[in-house]
Amino acid sequence: MRCDGRINDEIRKVKITQGFIDNAEGSVLIEMGGTRVICTATIEEGVPPFIKDSNHGWLTAEYSMLPRSTQTRNTREAKIGRIGGRTHEIQRLIGRSLRSIVDLKRLGNRTIWIDCDVIQADGGTRTASITGAYICLVDALRFAVNNGMIQHYPITGYLAAISAGCVNGELMVDLCYEEDSKADVDLNVVMKFGNTKKSRGSTSNGQGSILIGEFVEVQGTAEGKAYSRKTLNHLLDLSEKGITELFEIQKGVLKDNEIDFSNIK
């Protein structure tokens, strides 16, 4: 048993609250164990200069942690006058991950801003941000379709992420802070589920079509000692199982608003 009573392949309790911020086109509060993140999606007209005249839109992300989201107070990056390397890394990961399931050509000359603000950190803040940001992105794009901003949903699949690691010789998924702080191996895994062909890891979307899980990004670091291919394979299996469970939770949150990906070309 782990420090919070879970078994090694068990994810933490997940709660997703939609419409958490009234002003945003899409917003959620995602809670995974003690980690809590507010995710919002904003749609703005125009695109960055580097893709001007490219005939497609853009999606980007920003990430931050409140000073007392951690056990001791963090200094605001605005006070320091620069964004730290960890923040840069995480917000680029969030943006890359979400762009993997968006057809940018269908956005037109628009940019979607994803903001992920950690209000309480207990491990897995970047992966929780991606899982929650997906829900608020779908809600924002539904808002865009319903209000005539775009004609078709540009979403091409589901997306979720989770952490895994090796702690005191034990391989486990969805690490809390106590586990993450002493992990010998630390993995962050992002997967998408979309219509391709039936194979290992596939699941029905409840509408007669088959959804297959594919890896979007795997970040694996030996914090204490190097690890074997066998260990990596085991951690990826744990991650795939955990992300599949998150995917089912996302389906439950979306309910009747779920998008039928079989109609997306």
Compute CA distances 128 → 14, 113, 190, 229, 260, whole Å.
10, 17, 11, 26, 24
Angle CA 234–98–53, to nearest 5: 145
The per-residue pLDDT for range 8-28, each reduced to its tens digit, is 999 999 999 999 999 999 999
pTM here is 0.91
Note whether residue 1 is domain-resident.
no
DSSP character string of 129-189: HHHHHHHHHHHHHHHHHHTTS-SS--B-SEEEEEEEEEETTEEEES--HHHHTT-SEEEEE
Note whether residue 5 is domain-resident.
no
Note whether residue 141 is domain-resident.
yes
The per-residue pLDDT for range 54-92, each reduced to its tens digit, is 889 999 999 999 999 999 999 988 888 888 899 999 999
Residue 121 has what pLDDT? Answer: 97
**Identity of residue 255:** K
Note whether residue 79 is domain-resident.
yes
The per-residue pLDDT for range 95-128, each reduced to its tens digit, is 999 999 999 999 999 999 999 999 999 999 999 9
Q: Residue 176 CB: number of other CB atoms within 10 A?
A: 21
How far, in Å, CA of 248 to CA of 63, rounded? 25
The per-residue pLDDT for range 119-154, each reduced to its tens digit, is 999 999 999 999 999 999 999 999 999 999 998 889
State which residues form the domain around 38: 14-263
Note whether residue 7 is domain-resident.
no
Note whether residue 245 is domain-resident.
yes
Note whether residue 3 is domain-resident.
no
Residue 256: CATH number of its domain:
3.30.230.70
Q: What total number of domains does the chain contain?
A: 1
Note whether residue 197 is domain-resident.
yes
